[in-house]
Chain A
């Protein structure tokens, strides 16, 4: 079942899309109960090609082209999970998850609680998210905070191909429902991915990863902002500022231990996400950091993120999205207290 390409790519670089594909393939090989379901995931291989070739190799019973209805995708995935399967649902774009919101929030998240632990729903809902691809409305959103607010869900975002490969397998083997955000504008970014290495050695899915070690300010990010923040750290180094960059990876639960340890060291904290800052993940982090690291802080926790607007038309999206300069601008402000 291993793809012919896999061997050749063991030592090489993979795109995020390909790495996720390899991760899905591995999970399907390892566990016959793993299913992939969604719109256009079969013959087409998904609009971002994440499921490319899976139906050919695993058959239509395991890679299901579903009717075009998101509530149905998640609702039937719940039923399949009740029967012992581990469905991986693809929501084609972030803005299309809302028809499934009720099934995710009221059913998927709460079934374990409702059943006093008798029922587990190991369902993964994959959502390509974020902007920067010049798309029309509903194709560039970052709804992660809406899910992180819901008890019973795990919410994660992968930031690079290596993490994508490991995290999708970890999400599938997790017995809780996982909302799995994939940064769609990074689907074609390439990094080294160790396909031969087992996922057991990978960082646990609910653990943050320190990507750049620094001493002056902690920069917290996830998903598409990981690359931006690493680039910002390099640029800041040239200006003599030492930025510590942490990829949160898990948005629910948050790895507060890693966050607090870093902020206690640096004394400054900036949270970066594409999502609107109002009511976002950054606000939650700011509250917790302020409470737990109060006497270590040199400045208030600051946020760089989207404005409190709907996602704007693509010709002006660059002004909405935090980029390297916007991140550095907020970092500079953290030094102004």
Chain B
């Protein structure tokens, strides 16, 4: 406790000779649903493109709700909700080209959706049927990584591979890696920043600063805005309104294109809020005030798009009811997929550990099989 008290006693500004610069936030759509322009990030979207983004946001939130419900009903072991982070994920996810590679944490359900991964695959992991099990190459969407920040190095190494393949240029490839505010304290993330910087690797570091690392607020991780850290590593850092799908799209597009063209890494800090619990096992009422949540509800990432669509006359009521109905269908479909998911064969636990069959593992598989069959034969004997 003494250590903690000493840490808290330190004034945040004590060691700064100059007042910290005011953080800049890139925003193209206000919480009220009004379009804002930014000279560095022009964005020209057709009504259909905007409606498609709205549909993504709604469907992703619906998938999240359905998964929470499935967990509450005992069908999933746990679920990490993305509630509040839909715009950050859909905006960045839709900024990627098909050949770009995305490296997620365990909360990137919205990015998974944009990459085309069946949400049922995500449920497999949280139900305990697999540890993921999808082919990262199928949608250029890597496996969920649960160890905090470890994937930042994988993305950086992958990006070094892009360089070696000569796949840079106007229609080149790049990697994007997702992580949270808590992860920025990890050694791996800092090592990835250094690696990407000195190798000028085509990787975009997409940090969803959702303000909370389970119970720890941002001030347990940093004394400066996270995006300012990039400067110390030698590459650009940008803070974007993480609840603004337009801004996330525009900023990520630009950073990815810079990476593809050989201009090196960018850190994007998507300033957002984890509106739900860390996971379904967490109880945020123990560590944060409901007033904070209420204030962020006013900045909801979906409502502002809806307001914009309505005010601009781009969408009518029938569009919204149509998307809502589609969301229900998706919810029903993934619920059904989840309930129909068979438990894996116990003997499958010995699969895929090595490229070739292993004598020891085959021996252990046979032992378990014999043990299991001993129960069957006892029943048969009765």
- Taking Cβ atoms with an 8 Å cutoff, the residues of A that contact B are 35, 61, 66-67, 69, 71-72, 74-85, 99, 102-103, 106-107, 110-120, 151-152, 154, 174-176, 253-254, 256
Contact = CB atoms under 8 A, between A and B. Distances in A.
Contacts of B155: 79
Given A83-B165, A103-B188, A117-B351, 10 more contacts: A71-B191, A74-B153, A75-B188, A76-B160, A107-B145, A107-B154, A114-B143, A116-B352, A118-B137, A256-B359
A79 B158 contact: yes
A113 B352 contact: yes
B213 interface: no
Nearest to B196: A76
B194 A67 contact: yes
B134 interface: yes
A78 B143 CA distance: 13
Contact of B352 (A75, A115, A254): A115
B6 interface: no
A175 B136 contact: no
B62 interface: no
Given A72-B153, A78-B157, A102 B147 contact: yes
Contact of A116 (B130, B192, B355): B130
Sort A-B residue pairs by CB-CB distance and give the 8 closest, nearest first: A79-B157, A75-B153, A83-B161, A76-B157, A117-B352, A72-B191, A175-B355, A116-B133
B161 A114 contact: no
22 contacts: A67-B191, A69-B194, A71-B187, A72-B188, A72-B192, A76-B154, A78-B153, A79-B157, A80-B160, A82-B154, A82-B161, A102-B150, A103-B150, A112-B354, A113-B353, A114-B131, A115-B134, A116-B130, A118-B134, A118-B136, A154-B354, A253-B360
Residue from the set A61, A83, A119 with the largest chain B CB neighbour count within 10 Å = A83
B195 interface: yes
A76 B163 CA distance: 13
Nearest to A79: B157
A116 B352 CA distance: 6
Contact of B355 (A72, A106, A120): A120
Contacts, number: 141
Contacts of B309: none
B345 to A, nearest CB: 13
B14 interface: no
B162 interface: yes
Contact of B154 (A75, A85, A116): A75
Interface of B: 130-137, 142-143, 145, 147, 150, 152-165, 175, 187-188, 191-192, 194-195, 198, 351-356, 358-360
A173 to B, nearest CB: 11
A152 B194 contact: no
Residue from the set A67, A76, A78, A120 with the largest chain B CB neighbour count within 10 Å = A76
A253 B359 contact: yes
B164 A79 contact: no
Contacts of A114: 131-133, 143
B290 to A, nearest CB: 36
Nearest to B155: A79
A176 B361 CA distance: 15
A228 B165 CA distance: 46
A74 B195 CA distance: 12
Contacts of A116: 130, 132-134, 351-352
Contacts of B150: 75, 102-103, 106-107
Contacts of B175: 79
A121 to B, nearest CB: 10
B352 A112 contact: yes
A112 B130 contact: no
Residue from the set A74, A103, A174 with the largest chain B CB neighbour count within 10 Å = A103
Contacts of B353: 112-113, 151-152
Contact of B195 (A67, A82, A110, A174): A67
Nearest to A66: B195
B131 A79 contact: no
B354 to A, nearest CB: 5
B143 A119 contact: yes
B272 to A, nearest CB: 26
Contacts of B352: 112-113, 115-117
